[in-house]
Amino acid sequence: DVKVTQSSRYLVKRTGEKVFLECVQDMDHENMFWYRQDPGLGLRLIYFSYDVKMKEKGDIPEGYSVSREKKERFSLILESASTNQTSMYLCASSLTSSPEQPQHFGDGTRLSIL
């Protein structure tokens, strides 16, 4: 089974802090994704990566950056956290870009910015 592991299940940070959310997958997947999940809005794509050091913006990249130095790891960075970034963050991966390949999700990180 594919395992997508997010480093923290819950995280509390302060406004202005630099925040790192880590995601690791163990199945040599090419693609990795970061989503934000908010009630009534579903999941919205922040960034995705289709290869090491490659990234593309999703729908809501403002205030976020990403890093993919190794194939198995995809980090989401909040450069200067703000209260409107309080949310659930979901990481996902897929084997290839083929739409037949499903996305596998981690358990999510519930981030609170105080």
Among 50, 61, 72, 112, binds other proteins (CB under 8 A): 50
Stretch that binds other proteins, among 16-24, 33-41, 61-69, 75-83 (CB under 8 A): 33-41
26 counts as binding other proteins under rule CB under 8 A: no
Judged by CB under 8 A, the residue of 34, 48, 64, 74 near other proteins is 48
Of 84 and 99, nearer to other proteins (C-beta) is: 99
* Residue 50: alpha-carbon gap to chain centroid: 13
The smaller minimum CB distance to other proteins, of residues 33 and 64, is found at: 33
Locate the DSSP E strands across the chain: 4-6, 10-13, 19-25, 31-38, 42-51, 54-57, 64-70, 73-78, 87-94, 104-105, 109-113
The CA distance from 1 to 4, in Å, is 10
